[in-house]
């Protein structure tokens, strides 16, 4: 069983569910027609199926290693990466001015989804480069842009993000890395960074580190942090990689998953760096990089959900066990059918959320309208947290569908679960995503959420005649959720945070049901997509109620047990 790119599903979602078509009415994306979209999806899908997916198991079995301070990548990665780079697939949404295709982020999102299905460990490399391209395009000087962007976009060089330090993880503001001016416009960057994904790679000519560090006059906390470009090799006068910079990979982590992706401890020892953005403005620049990276990480979860679903379905169709009718395979058992259908329905729902998020980003970019930007900002933590939660949950369901075979590593089902697990943690843990949703993303008093719920309810109203049994539960759920939101925005932060994870998931339940309904309507209210929508709405949507019950508890009683009591009971 090999991965098959879900081109038809992506095309259906783009055209009928997330209204990708409206991008074409903007000047910026007027060229992203159906034929271009089709060609992009088809070609990228083919690359994922034929070139990238085959290196996924080898990368797990033979992890990347560190030899003499240099990363030696897993078998086949170099060739697969070169195919990505040569095909122009590192970042199709990169600006045309620097050699990019200037395509919508939405298409990039679909490509990231497919590449993640094929090989999460390898895909992380271009994903980080995408984030760097975006950060540089938004914040770097023209010189830096001119020097770095074409190389990053072509995939000749790759990018990394250096935020975390041993004592500064979720609390980035606690970092201690320093940057001292060298007097020539450059800075000497010193410090240790951990969890640096693809901190080195043997298939690119240079590795470009974006490093957060504090200038001598930087205040404590996040407001005193600046961002620096610190390349592994210092570009020479021609822009070619020259002498080695004062930095090194100290060690690689031994991890639960993504064995093919080297997770590095990096040491910067007075390494030469160039300021990106304003002095002390590093966090703002980093957030640019992180915001779309969060959508990208959400797509990693979705890609794994897709791959796990394909694998589980194939097994369920092939494995005979017990007396059943139909195909004679275990897919005929009610509980197996439930699991596989759940995987299908969940993957569809969260993929729709992520693509709607991407469309909002593109519309914000194309129109400059604040409403679109607010929509994108609202959906980003949901795409990230829910995408990765569903990715992990579906990978675990996939293991269960395989029975005993699921626990055997050669099967590959377990690898999906191990690989995707980190996506719930990195790029801001899913708890932090949920805090972002109920705090920063509700600073508008809930306006962006209400605008989205208005659309959900309008669609339910419109479907009331055709599909009353689907429309009504969604309308009710949206109303419940709206009331919960009205309650939430009136609460203190501690009360919001106590139920934030449940709130985010409840939101995703309502949205998932909504996109399923749109799919059913596009199908005319009858057929397989309607069947899948019905499954989701009847069996999965009801979860929102118990989630809202948790939300409404707030922090009530949460601190009743003292720390000592928590240890004692």
Residue 96 binds to a copy of itself (criterion: CB under 8 A): no
Residues 68, 142, 185, 568: which binds a copy of itself (CB under 8 A)?
A: 568
Q: How far is the CB of 415 from a copy of itself (least distance, A)?
A: 9
Contact yes or no for 499/554 (Cβ under 8 A): yes
Residue 492 binds to a copy of itself (criterion: CB under 8 A): no
Question: d(Cα 94, Cα 77) in Å, to the nearest integer?
Answer: 23
Q: How far is the CB of 419 from a copy of itself (least distance, A)?
A: 10
Q: Scan residues 299-318 and list those touching a copy of itself (CB under 8 A).
A: 313, 317
**Which DSSP state fits 332?**
G
Residues 219, 223, 320, 440: which binds a copy of itself (CB under 8 A)?
A: 320
Residue 124 binds to a copy of itself (criterion: CB under 8 A): no
Tokens of 73: 């990548």
Tokens of 357: 């998020």
Tokens of 367: 């129109």
Closest to 362 measured CA to CA, from 103, 94, 152, 17: 103
Closest to a copy of itself by CB, 375 vs 529, is 529
Residue 348 binds to a copy of itself (criterion: CB under 8 A): yes
Question: d(Cα 281, Cα 226) in Å, to the nearest integer?
Answer: 5
Residues 435, 511, 513, 517: which binds a copy of itself (CB under 8 A)?
A: 435
Residue 78 binds to a copy of itself (criterion: CB under 8 A): no
Contact yes or no for 386/296 (Cβ under 8 A): no
Closest to a copy of itself by CB, 179 vs 336, is 336
Q: Total residues at the site for a copy of itself (CB under 8 A)?
A: 94
- Do you know the residue count of the chain? 569
Contact yes or no for 224/150 (Cβ under 8 A): no
Residues 192, 429, 466, 480: which binds a copy of itself (CB under 8 A)?
A: 429
Residue 39 binds to a copy of itself (criterion: CB under 8 A): no
Q: CB burial class (10 A; 0-12, 13-18, 19+) of residue 302?
A: buried
Contact yes or no for 128/177 (Cβ under 8 A): no
323: left (phi over 0), alpha (psi -120 to 50) or beta: beta
Provide the mask over 145-164, with x wherever binding to a copy of itself is found by CB under 8 A and - wherever it is not. Answer: -------------------x
Residue 108 binds to a copy of itself (criterion: CB under 8 A): no
Closest to a copy of itself by CB, 237 vs 563, is 563
Closest to 258 measured CA to CA, from 123, 393, 388: 123
Q: Scan residues 265-294 and list those touching a copy of itself (CB under 8 A).
A: none
Provide the mask over 526-555, with x wherever binding to a copy of itself is found by CB under 8 A and - wherever it is not. Answer: -xxx-xx-xx--xx--xxxxx--xx--x-x
147: left (phi over 0), alpha (psi -120 to 50) or beta: alpha
Residue 240 binds to a copy of itself (criterion: CB under 8 A): no
Closest to a copy of itself by CB, 121 vs 424, is 424
Cα three-residue angle 310-197-142, rounded to 5 degrees: 115
Q: Scan residues 173-192 and list those touching a copy of itself (CB under 8 A).
A: 174
Annotated catalytic sites, by residue?
427
Closest to a copy of itself by CB, 24 vs 255, is 255
Contact yes or no for 345/306 (Cβ under 8 A): no
Tokens of 79: 């060739």
Closest to a copy of itself by CB, 174 vs 243, is 174
């Amino acid at each position: 069983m090999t991965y098959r790119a879900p081109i038809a599903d992506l095309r259906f979602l783009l055209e009928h569910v997330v209204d990708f078509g409206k991008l074409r009415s903007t000047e910026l994306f007027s060229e992203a027609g159906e034929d271009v979209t089709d060609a992009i999806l088809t070609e990228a899908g083919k690359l994922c199926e034929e070139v990238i997916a085959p290196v996924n198991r080898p990368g797990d079995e033979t992890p990347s290693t560190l030899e003499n301070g240099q990363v030696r990548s897993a078998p086949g990665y170099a060739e697969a990466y070169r195919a990505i780079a040569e095909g122009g697939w590192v970042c199709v949404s990169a600006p045309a001015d620097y050699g990019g295709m200037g395509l919508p982020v939405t298409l990039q999102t679909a490509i990231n989804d497919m590449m993640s299905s094929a090989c999460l460990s390898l895909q992380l490399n271009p994903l980080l480069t995408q984030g760097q391209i975006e950060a540089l395009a938004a914040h770097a000087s023209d010189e830096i842009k001119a020097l770095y962007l074409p190389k990053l976009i072509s995939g000749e060089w790759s990018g990394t993000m250096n935020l975390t330090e041993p004592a500064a993880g979720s609390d980035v503001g606690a970092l201690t890395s320093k940057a001292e001016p060298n007097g020539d416009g450059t800075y000497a960057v010193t410090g240790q960074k951990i969890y640096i994904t693809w901190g080195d790679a043997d298939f690119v000519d240079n590795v470009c580190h974006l490093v957060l560090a504090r200038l001598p006059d930087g205040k404590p906390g996040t407001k005193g942090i600046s961002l620096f470009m610190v390349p592994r090799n210092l570009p020479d006068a021609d822009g070619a990689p020259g002498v080695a910079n004062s930095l090194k990979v100290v060690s690689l982590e031994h991890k639960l998953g993504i064995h093919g992706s080297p997770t590095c401890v990096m040491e910067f020892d007075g390494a030469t760096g160039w300021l990106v953005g304003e002095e002390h403005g590093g966090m703002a620049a980093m957030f640019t990089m992180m915001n779309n990276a969060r959508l990208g990480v959400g797509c990693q979860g979705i890609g794994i959900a897709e791959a796990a679903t394909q694998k589980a379905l194939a097994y369920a169709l092939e494995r005979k066990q017990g007396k059943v009718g139909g195909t004679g395979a275990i897919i005929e058992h009610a509980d197996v059918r439930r699991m596989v259908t759940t995987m299908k329905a969940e993957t569809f729902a969260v993929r729709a959320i992520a693509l709607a998020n991407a469309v909002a980003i593109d519309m914000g970019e194309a129109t400059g309208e604040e409403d679109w930007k607010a929509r994108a900002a609202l959906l980003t933590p949901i795409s990230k947290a829910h995408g990765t939660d569903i990715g992990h949950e579906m990978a675990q369901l996939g293991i269960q569908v395989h029975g005993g075979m699921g626990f055997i590593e050669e099967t590959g089902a377990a690898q999906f679960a191990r690989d995707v697990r980190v996506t719930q943690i990195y790029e801001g843990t899913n708890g932090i995503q949920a805090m972002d949703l109920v705090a920063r993303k509700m600073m508008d008093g809930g306006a962006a959420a209400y605008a989205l719920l208005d659309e959900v309810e309008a669609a339910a109203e419109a479907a009331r005649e055709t599909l009353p049994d689907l429309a009504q539960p969604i309308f009710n759920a949206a109303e419940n959720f709206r009331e919960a939101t009205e309650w939430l925005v009136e609460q203190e932060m501690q009360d919001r945070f106590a139920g934030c994870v449940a709130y985010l998931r409840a939101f995703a339940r309502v949205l998932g049901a909504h996109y399923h309904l749109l799919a059913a309507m596009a199908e005319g209210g009858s057929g397989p997509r309607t069947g899948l929508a019905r499954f989701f709405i009847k069996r999965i949507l009801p979860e929102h109620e118990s989630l809202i019950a948790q939300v409404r508890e707030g922090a009530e009683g949460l601190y009743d047990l003292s720390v000592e009591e928590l240890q004692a009971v």
